[in-house]
Structure 1
Amino acid sequence: MTTPQDELLPGTRRALLHRIAVAQAEGRAPSLVAAVVRDGRAVWHGARTSVDGHGPDRNVQYRIGSITKTFTAVLVMRLRDEGALDLGDPLEKHLPCTGTGEATIAQLLAHTGGLAAESPGPWWERTPGALRPELADVLGDQPFLHPAGRRFHYSNPGYSLLGALVEQLRGVPWDEALRREVLEPLGLDRTTTRPQHPHAGGWAVHPWADVMLPEPTEDFGRMAAAGQLWSTAGDLARFAAFLAHGDDRVLSAETLREMRTPAAPAEETDLRDGSAYGLGLRVEARSGRLLVGHSGSVPGFLASLTLSVDDDVAAVVLSNCTSGPMVSQVAADLVCIVAEAEPRFPAPWRPLREVDRTVLELAGQWYWGTSPFALRLTADGLLSLGPLSGGGRRSGFRANGDGSWTGLEGYFAGEVLRAVRRPDGTVDHLDLGSFVFTRQPYDNGADVPGGVDTGGWRGIG
């Protein structure tokens, strides 16, 4: 059974429109525009506005603030995939004399470099970038607040440094590298560093009166890589599809999975709200779903991009006010509305085309000590190992081509699984990072560490 993948049911569309209508009204936003993506395609667009007859469409630009950081992270990961840098490199290796010491590229991407949250001096988002012409002006005399690598501390200057890194290794300005390597290949022709008509104006809404004040629109200069971009609901919908599926012209799906993996130690507050940070992407648990994306906030604008990889549903929400609607919550709600009202159909089960009998003989029940596990050979060619019941350590394993497999997630990520055979070729046990799995609990015919009591299993008497 199939359903059209480019349509939503009328009830779903009404629920989406109702959600953004409530957000715009209760958040007192001059305008709010949203889009939903499913299976890599935009399937819904909605808008609400305070001006009759002037509702923004998916082509109207809004400033997206820190969603810019995800674009910058994509550029850095491209450099890593090309071999131009290693994420473990100290930034100083490529940008000497910045005063960042041993802070690594990965730490800057994950906001664990120890840098301050903001640039010193006047509020950088409301003042000209010309006030901070050099990286030294962005960092100030005391750029570090914490030891590198010890804790998550969101840092706008850290992403300014990553933009400078891109410029150093590409030999062109950050925005030029972004245009050539990301925006043009993905068809994001309405994503720019300066506003282009049609675009929304940025407003501050008085907290105690229904009146507004225009916000200044500054060029951030050296801080551009942290929050400069303008974009549209249509462009960000396409970008969300890329973040979910990858595009080999820009980044592979495997690298994007790496970006979505938590890379920063969780703070106490993060543990309470179920959130973490990867490499240029926020990761959080909401309503039983793992959501990935980024939010943005600059004077006059709020933005959020959120996706559920498991549901293959994403949402974008843009508004033109300094504070008001909780756009991150709205975007998460839009994802959940679609995922719950129209749950994804699983792909049809299909068997393997070919099977290696030496691998097939490993399938079935194994025991780690007395704990029963199941090892399955799946249609995607992976091995899956996990406890037969309840929680516990589980992982998929990818073949290495030499008869061994490497764990892909959880406790066993990176650990190597091997079948240890007897001289006659039969399997004695499985070895997984020194853990021994046998066909029977504490099998006395297998090489169990510490040996097995020769008296065998017995009662209490």
Structure 2
Amino acid sequence: MKRILALCAGVAVAVMSPVRAATPVDFAPLSSLIEQTKAATGLPSGTAVVVVKGGKVIHEGYYGLADIGTGTPVTADTVFYIASATKPFFALNALQKQGAGELDMAMSLQQMFPQTRFDGLDAEAITVRDLLTHTAGVDNTALVWATAFSGVHDSASRRALVAGTQRDPDAAHGTFRYTNLGYNLLSIWMDQHNGLPWQDQLQRTLFEPLGMRHTSTRISTAEAAGWPMAAPYSLASAQPTTPLYLRKADDTMQAAGGMVATAPDLARFLIAQLPGEGNIALAREIITRSQQRQVALDSSYLDFARDGYAWGWYTGQYKGHPLLHHFGGFAGFHAHLSFMPDQNIALVVLNNEDVLGAPLTNLIADHVYGLLLHEPGITSSSAARFLALQAKAAQMQANVSRQREAIQSRPWRRSLPRDHFVGRYVHPLLGEMRVEAAGEQALRLRWGRLDAVASAGEQMDQGRVEFVPGWGSWLTFQAGEGQVRSLTFETLTFQRMP
């Protein structure tokens, strides 16, 4: 462990601040705080930090390990999965399509899919704008699980799954409710009507013009190019230094969360967002429009107030200045993109850990923006917050361990012997889920990319499964007359095959 922690030392490069050219910006205290936090938790997962000021990168810091098992450190070349931080890219591409006359933001869901019958849903009222601003008021559990998690889908099944879109009982049309679904639906339409998959659209309209040479919407591209990729870890895992089993593949990279990139590449995208710093290949008027608030909100996430949502960006005030941001979270990863237009400041933070990643990034942002805004006492206040996070992390691990023990100690309640539940279960659009015996009492479930051992549920013939590590879902078997007929995962029912 001493050797591993020694490799956590960050690589930090700071240059003169464009705001106060005579005074260098000292990021060394921040680097020390990040390193201390990783050492205190005993989990040397990786963190990449890039700070932009005045259209230039003024600081890069790389800490911890991209792969703990091999001792591979995080560097400027390390590629991270950025999850929902994909949304600003996809939304900007959509605005570019609109500017070229290839997409109408007022087009309705029914016009997008004229042959589809939407039961119990006014598909004529829902527009592309609604889909991109999370105000469509729709839900489709099957489509989301297929495209983001199981990977069991193709172009035909995706189109068929669109018909399962229904009214969201918890959010009326016009009401903001964050979801991946709108972006998924629009990407399916784009694939049909633009003659080019959405993945290739982003490559041509954004990645190439901005010089993002280590960014892709396909895992296979990154692997073929030999890009060093960060492995996923979690402080909440039973074995935190072992990578999580769930890895992204091409078939689970979807429009609402389907990019891998390096921190410097993402900084290029943020530089293009800043006033007067755009790339000639990206029209300034489209960049400006993408940042205009479309929906009013009154919410927050950690230190970040959110007063609205633009096109793939949350808007709000941070330390007294307008800030646009979007984060991304998935098993083993947390990504942060933010920028302050009136100060020409931007920040990228990437982590290959999913529990400590969010609060750690929150404190990194506090320190970085505090420094560049010349906030009095930022170094000392930041140090106190990092120390509190270290103590909280230790308590968090203890709490998670107790919770895991309580879940795993629940006894199974079955109406039939366990072997009656073993078998193949099929959904007409979502493929096959296999149920196998595991250990003395448990059941193992395999569904496409997903593979997990279920623990006992709270009710008869019920189990709890973490297909996504750290995210438990109920699994209920329907049994009667001496046999198991089907299983329901969340709201999705699979029929048992003979």
TM-score, length basis structure 1: 0.65
**2:334/2:352 contact within 8 Å kept:** yes
Distance 2:165 2:285 in 1: 39
User: In the alignment, which of 86, 91, 94 is matched to residue 73 of structure 1?
Assistant: 91
CA distance in 2, matches of 1:66, 1:234: 18
1:123/1:178 CA distance change after superposition, 3 Å: closer
Query: CA 1:136/1:283 → structure 2, altered by over 3 Å: closer, same or farther?
Result: farther
Question: More helix per residue: 1 or 2?
Answer: 2
Q: Secondary structure at the match of 1:310?
A: helix
Output the amino acid matched with 2:136.
Answer: G
Alignment of 1:258-407 (within 5 A): 258-267=289-298, 274-275=305-306, 276-326=308-358, 329-330=362-363, 332-341=365-374
Correspondence for 1:227: 257
**Which residue does the alignment assign to 2:27?**
13
Residue 86 of structure 1 is aligned with which of 104, 127, 148?
104
Hey, which bits of structure 1, 4+ residues long, moved more than 6 A?
Answer: none
Of 131, 134, 145 in structure 2, the residue corresponding to residue 111 of structure 1 is 134
Q: How far apart, in 2, do the equivalents of 1:232 and 1:177 lie?
A: 19
- Offset at residue 64 of structure 1 (A): 0.5
Pairwise mapping of residues 195-214 of structure 1 onto structure 2 (< 5 A)?
195-196=222-223, 197-206=227-236, 211-214=241-244
Contact 1:33 / 1:233 at 8 angstroms: preserved in 2?
yes
Q: For structure 1, which segment, 9-18 or 122-131, has the greater mean C-alpha deviation from structure 2 after superposition?
A: 122-131
Separation in 2 of the partners of 1:117 and 1:35? 36
Structure 1 distance, partners of 2:300, 2:140, is 17
Give 1:310 deviation, angstroms.
1.0
Distance 1:67 1:146 in 2: 24
Deviation at 1:128, TM superposition (A): 2.0
Contact 1:75/1:166 (<8 A) preserved: no
TM-aligned CA distance change 1:117 to 1:233, over 3 Å: farther
SS of the residue 1:33 aligns to: strand
Per-residue CA shift, 1:305-360, capped at 9, x if unaligned? 111111111111111123222255245325413422499xxxxxxxxxxxxxxxxx
Deviation of the 1:81 alpha carbon: 1.2
Q: Which residue of 2 aligns with 1:150?
A: 174
CA RMSD of superposed structures (Å): 3.4
Q: Give the corresponding residue for 1:188.
A: 212
The code of the aligned residue for 1:60 comes to T
Letter in 2 for 1:90: S
Q: Within 2, Cα distance between the matches of 1:23 and 1:290?
A: 29
Q: Select which of 183, 193, 216 maps to 2:246.
A: 216
Q: Pick from 131, 135, 150: which aligns with 1:127?
A: 150
Q: Deviations over 1:155-178 (max 9, x none)?
A: 101111222233344211111111
Change (3 A) 1:146 1:107: farther
Decide whether aligned partners of structure 1 residues 173 and 54 sit closer, same or farther in structure 2, where only a CA change above 3 A counts: same
Structure 1 or 2: more strand by fraction: 2
Q: 1:214 to 1:274 in 2, by over 3 A?
A: closer
Unaligned stretches of 5+ residues in structure 2: 1-15, 377-498
Alignment of 1:431-442 (within 5 A): none
Match of 1:36, SS?
strand
In 1: Cα distance, 2:124 partner to 2:364 partner:
38
In the alignment, the residues of structure 1 paired with residue 315 and residue 290 of structure 2 have an alpha-carbon distance, to the nearest angstrom, of 10
TM-aligned CA distance change 1:124 to 1:4, over 3 Å: closer
Task: Return the offset for 1:88.
Answer: 2.4
> What amino acid does structure 2 have at the position aligned with 1:274?
A
Q: How many residues align?
A: 341
- For the Cα contact (< 8 Å) 1:63–1:231, is it kept in 2? yes
Question: For 2:324, what is the secondary structure of its paired residue?
Answer: strand
**1:149 Cα shift?**
4.2
The answer (yes or no) to whether the contact 1:19–1:330 under 8 Å persists in 2 is no
Q: CA deviation at 1:144?
A: 3.4
Distance in 1 (alpha carbons) for counterparts of 2:323 and 2:340: 5
Question: More deviation in 123-132 or 251-260?
Answer: 123-132
Over 3 Å counting, the alpha-carbon distance change for 1:208 and 1:221 in structure 2 is closer
> Does 2:64 align with 1:49?
yes
Secondary structure of the corresponding residue to residue 234 of structure 2? strand
Amino acid aligned to 1:184 = E
Q: 15-24 or 109-118, which moves further after superposition?
A: 15-24
Q: Does 1:101 align with 2:124?
A: yes
Counterpart-to-counterpart distance in 2, 1:250 and 1:316 = 22
Confirm or deny: 8 A CA contact 2:17 2:25 kept in the other structure.
no
Q: Give the residue type in structure 1 aligned to 2:28.
A: R
2:407 aligns with: none
Amino acid at match of 1:258: R
Structure 1 partner of 2:190: 166
- Quick check: 1:63 aligned with 2:77? no
The range that moved more, 178-187 or 221-230, is 221-230
Distance 2:343 2:260 in 1: 28
Post-superposition offset of 1:113: 0.9
